[in-house]
C-alpha cells in the first residue's frame, strides 16, 4: 500500500452502508412505544385523540445524530420524510404512547380481526342440494 493510500485509509470517515442510512429510528423510552407519523392535515391530531403524544426533546439524537429539521422553531422531534427535490417537503413527527395503552389497542385490533375471520370461515348450515357423481 502506498503512502497516500495509507494516509487516506487512516483519515477515512466511519463508513455507513447505504442500507443503514436514513432509517427512521430514535432512542426508545422505557415503558413507551414510539413511531414516526407523517405530518398531513389531521394525522397528528388523530393520533393525539387515540392517546399518542408528540415527543418533545430537542436534544434527542436519532440514528444519524440528527433529531431536528433545520431551522426548526419548536422542540418537537421531526424529520424530513422525502428528499425528492421535485416534491413538496414532507416531515414526520415522533410520537409515543404508554405501552399499556398500546398493548390494549393491539389486543382489541387482534380481537376484531379474529371475529372477522370467524364470519368468513363460518360453516354454512343452510346449504341446498347435494352432488353425487358415479361412474
For 13-68, write each residue's pLDDT tens digit: 777 777 666 667 777 889 999 999 998 889 999 999 999 999 887 556 555 555 55
pTM (predicted TM-score): 0.63
Query: Which contiguous run of DSSP H or E holds residue 70?
Result: none
Could you tell me the CA-to-CA distances from 76 to 9, 14, 84 in Å, in that order?
39, 29, 23
Q: Are 47 and 102 in contact (CB under 8 A)?
A: no
Q: Which helix (H) or strand (E) holds 133?
A: none
- Residue 67 makes CB contacts below 8 A (sequence gap 6+) with 26, 57, 58, 59, 60, 61, 77, 79
Reported in sequence order, the residue ranges of the chain that DSSP labels E, i.e. its strands, are: 32-38, 53-54, 78-80, 91-98
Tens digit of each residue's pLDDT (9 = 90 or more) over 77-135: 888 787 777 878 788 889 999 999 999 999 999 999 999 888 877 666 566 667 788 88
Q: What torsion, rounded to 10 degrees, do the Cα atoms 59, 62, 63, 66 define?
A: -70
Amino acid at each position: 500500500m502506498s503512502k497516500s493510500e495509507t494516509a487516506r485509509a487512516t483519515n477515512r470517515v466511519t463508513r455507513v452502508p447505504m442500507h443503514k442510512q436514513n432509517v427512521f429510528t430514535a432512542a426508545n423510552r422505557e415503558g413507551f412505544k414510539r413511531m414516526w407519523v407523517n405530518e398531513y392535515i389531521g394525522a397528528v391530531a388523530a393520533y393525539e385523540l387515540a392517546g399518542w403524544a408528540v415527543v418533545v426533546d430537542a436534544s434527542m439524537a436519532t440514528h444519524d445524530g440528527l433529531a431536528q429539521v433545520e431551522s426548526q422553531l419548536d422542540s418537537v422531534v421531526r424529520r424530513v420524510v422525502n428528499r425528492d427535490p421535485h416534491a413538496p417537503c414532507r416531515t414526520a413527527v415522533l410520537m409515543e404512547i404508554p405501552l399499556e395503552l398500546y398493548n390494549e389497542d393491539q389486543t382489541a385490533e387482534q380481537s376484531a380481526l379474529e371475529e372477522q375471520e370467524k364470519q368468513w370461515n363460518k360453516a354454512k348450515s343452510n346449504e341446498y342440494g347435494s352432488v353425487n357423481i358415479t361412474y
